[in-house]
Amino acid sequence: MTVTLTAKRTLAASAGGRLNLDNINPHVKAAKYAVRGELAVKAEEYRVKLAQGDKSLPFDSVIFANIGNPQQLDQKPISFFRQVLSLLENPSLLENPEALRTSFGYQQDVIDRAKALLADVQSVGAYSHSQGAPIIRNSVAKFIEERDGFPANPQDLYLTGGASSGVSTLLNIICDGPSAGVLVPIPQYPLYTATLSLLNAQCVPYHLEEHRAWGTDVNAIRENLAQAKAAGTDVRAIVVINPGNPTGASLSAEDIKGVLDLAAEEKLVVIADEVYQTNVFTGEFISFKKRLRQLQQEVPGKYDNVELASLHSVSKGMVGECGHRGGYFELVGFDPEVAAQVYKYVSIMLCPPVIGQCLVELMVNPPKEGEPSRAVYEKEYNGIRDGLRKRAFALYEAFQRMEGVECQEPQGAMYLFPTITLPPKAVEAAKAENRAADEFYCLRLLDATGVCVVPGSGFGQKENTLHFRTTFLAPGTDWVERIVKFHSEFMAKYK
């Protein structure tokens, strides 16, 4: 059967089908997404070879440090979450609660939560309300109120198939044509530039300041904004990723105020990507919603018309449930007629995955103090958090030992983004292969160690600088020593 299908595909290609690389949507071809690019493809090929017993490679495992995919790298799911989900997927299990308790260790609060969710959604196999199930939006609103100390309205909340789906929705609404522009931080998560490419809209980059722990420089943003406007770009929004991806930086209250000042003065929609809000090692996470509400109280009138869309996800934090595709965004200060169009847009896709929605509810409403599942939840949650912090600093300390490598101390998110200074001979060798120097370095690292990272050029970086992004999700720290050894040998080879 496989041979027949392959033969048919080959024949179709040789016969000249309707589609070819020259006549498909050019904006799809123009889009770039480095975290799943050439390096990731090659790493997967190496993984398959090892699984098939290939002994020719100089390493015995592949470390996918290229993408924030925690459970691929052995992060265990939170038991309470998965137990509730199992009952939602197979409600007949609820017919024998005693067996659940005695044979499988399910606590009563697991059973109660599953029943409460099923009473609202009825079945995870059925469509929900296009904005998301009401019971879940109510839980998210309560979570936001408790986090920020300001009210949240469930009607302003849209559950999504992961934060990426929310980003796509927002940019589709905001961008009205080729002249529309969005300010995007550089370095940035390539979802934003890729989506803008698909929409044939303009990315207006603004550089984060590495020497200021990857903070924002509002004056530099103003300059970039002015240049874009002078060139005819209608700049409509600014994206902020906090804590940062790929930088791992957490923005201060003052940095956030600077962005909101700019948004108020220039009538910019603020898209606050806050999916790493629980991954904070230094200081505290401050949401854009909280800071906006504080400023609206402190300076009446100035910030009244700021439009803010903030996003969160089950994919990151200590939850790490990327595959379940759950998330949400909240609209603040949007014209009701625009919000109606957002609702129409999400309705076209019917609804986000209902099981992912339920996982959002569990994330924002975990077992409370005194409830039977709380102790295990806290143990698992804190264990994941402490492990991430330990590995982050182990990696940071390793970079401190490496020649020509500088790295900001870990603040948050799941990544480090070190600067690398390579010898001229290495840069020349990269040019001979028609590659960026950091890409050349990362490919050599993968070939020698099985560790897959992403070159800084995939995220954007200041001219004449080189970086790479690595996660610190992989268990243990022995793979870190692989990087140290490789780097020493690489630098010696090209001196």
Of the two residues 100 and 148, the one the predictor is more confident about is 148
- 186 with 263, same domain: the answer is yes
Share of the chain above pLDDT 70, in %: 93
| Two structure tokens written together for 464 | 């004449």
Q: Judge whether 299 lies within some domain.
A: yes
pLDDT of 155: 95
Give dist(CA 291, CA 147) in Å, integer.
Answer: 12
CATH number at residue 248: 3.40.640.10
DSSP lists the bridge partners of residue 159 as 328
Of the two residues 38 and 383, the one the predictor is more confident about is 383
Least confident of 125-134, 324-333, 454-463: 454-463
- 353 with 433, same domain: the answer is no
Contact predicate 480/395, CB 8 Å: yes
Out of 312, 335, 364, a domain closes at: 364
pLDDT of 15: 53
Out of 364, 397, 414, a domain closes at: 364
Q: 83-98 burial string, b = 16+ CB within 10 Å, else e?
A: bbbebbeeeebeeebe
Q: Model's pTM, two decimal places?
A: 0.85
- E-strand spans in 345-482? 405-406, 415-416, 419-420, 451-452, 454-455, 468-471
Give dist(CA 366, CA 361) in Å, integer.
Answer: 8
111 has a pLDDT exceeding 80: yes
- 162 with 293, same domain: the answer is yes
Out of 299, 329, 364, a domain closes at: 364
Secondary structure percentages of the chain, helix, strand, coil, to 5: 50, 15, 35
pLDDT of 83: 93
262 has a pLDDT exceeding 50: yes
- What confidence tens digit (pLDDT) does each residue in 64-104 have? 888 777 766 677 888 999 999 999 999 988 888 888 888 88
- 389 with 294, same domain: the answer is no
Q: How many distinct structural domains can be found in the chain?
A: 2
- 350 with 312, same domain: the answer is yes
Q: Which domain holds residue 60?
A: 37-66+381-494
pLDDT bucket at 4, cuts 50 / 70 / 90: very low
> From the centroid of its chain, how far is CA 1?
39
Least confident of 57-61, 66-70, 191-195, 269-273: 66-70
In sequence order, which residues have a C-beta less than 8 Å from that of residue 69 and are 6 or more positions away? 322, 473
Q: Which of 181, 180, 140, 184 is nearest to 158 (CA)?
A: 140
Contact predicate 245/286, CB 8 Å: no
Q: Judge whether 5 lies within some domain.
A: no
Give dist(CA 331, CA 339) in Å, integer.
Answer: 8
Give dist(CA 38, CA 251) in Å, integer.
Answer: 32
pLDDT of 139: 95
- What confidence tens digit (pLDDT) does each residue in 379-426 have? 999 998 888 888 888 888 888 888 888 888 888 777 888 888 988 999
Q: Judge whether 74 lies within some domain.
A: no
- 433 with 337, same domain: the answer is no
Give dist(CA 152, CA 293) in Å, integer.
Answer: 11
pLDDT of 3: 43
Total residue count of the chain as it appears in this document:
495
Q: Judge whether 77 lies within some domain.
A: no
- 456 with 348, same domain: the answer is no
Cα dihedral: 477, 450, 186, 198 (round 10):
-130
Of the two residues 300 and 208, the one the predictor is more confident about is 300
- 271 with 146, same domain: the answer is yes
Q: How large is the average pLDDT for residues 117-143? A: 89
- 323 with 393, same domain: the answer is no
Q: Judge whether 486 lies within some domain.
A: yes
- 386 with 347, same domain: the answer is no
> From the centroid of its chain, how far is CA 165?
11
| DSSP states along 476-491 | SSHHHHHHHHHHHHHH
304 has a pLDDT exceeding 70: yes
In sequence order, which residues have a C-beta less than 8 Å from that of residue 271 and are 6 or more positions away? 167, 170, 182, 237, 238, 239, 240, 309, 310, 311
pLDDT bucket at 193, cuts 50 / 70 / 90: confident
247 has a pLDDT exceeding 80: no
Of the two residues 305 and 66, the one the predictor is more confident about is 305
Q: Judge whether 260 lies within some domain.
A: yes
Give dist(CA 412, CA 485) in Å, integer.
Answer: 26
Residue 460 vs residues 18, 176, 241, 399: alpha-carbon distances, Å? 35, 25, 14, 21
Q: Judge whether 13 lies within some domain.
A: no
Give dist(CA 213, CA 281) in Å, integer.
Answer: 13
Q: Judge whether 371 lies within some domain.
A: no
- 391 with 338, same domain: the answer is no
Q: Which of 49, 46, 85, 75 is nearest to 63 (CA)?
A: 46
Of the two residues 376 and 129, the one the predictor is more confident about is 376
CATH number at residue 460: 3.90.1150.10
132 has a pLDDT exceeding 80: yes
| Residue showing tokens 């295990």 | 376
pLDDT of 251: 85
Residue 233 vs residues 73, 139, 179, 201, 227: alpha-carbon distances, Å? 42, 40, 5, 9, 9
- 350 with 413, same domain: the answer is no
pLDDT of 33: 60
Q: CA angle, 319 as apex, 315 and 325 as ends, to 5°?
A: 30
